[in-house]
Amino acid sequence: MKIRPLADRVLAKPEKAESKTAGGIIIPEAAQEKTQTATVTAVGPGTEDEKITVKVGERVMYDKYAGTAIKIDGEDYLILKNNDIIAVIE
């Protein structure tokens, strides 16, 4: 399935949370903190008021409760508004 975001939306693939601490303790999935980093996989065209500021392939940080979670071919993705992205990771 192919998804093309509209307007000022961005499709991003969230990064997996660490399942083990530095000391080797395994953290159960229910107790893992939700990551707020993702890789941009598609971007919309933007609008006159909201220009898209990220590119496909960039790693970004986003607001904790932002976006709409979807599954594409069994993989987790987020559809985010451009203004929910708070930083580009370089």
How many whole angstroms separate alpha carbon 56 and alpha carbon 12?
Answer: 9
pLDDT of 85 strictly over 70: yes
Please name the residue that has the structure tokens 């898209």.
52
To the nearest whole number, what is the mean pLDDT of the chain? 88
Identify the pLDDT of residue 23: 80
Please name the residue that has the structure tokens 């940080």.
61
pLDDT of 64 strictly over 80: yes
Per-residue pLDDT band at 11 (split at 50, 70, 90): very high
List CB contacts of 29: < 8 A, sequence separation 6 or more.
Answer: 19
Give the type of residue at 41: T
Q: pLDDT digit string (tens) for 17-57?
A: 666 667 877 776 666 566 689 999 999 999 999 999 999 99
Identify the pLDDT of residue 43: 96
How many whole angstroms separate alpha carbon 14 and alpha carbon 27?
Answer: 18
How many whole angstroms separate alpha carbon 60 and alpha carbon 38?
Answer: 5
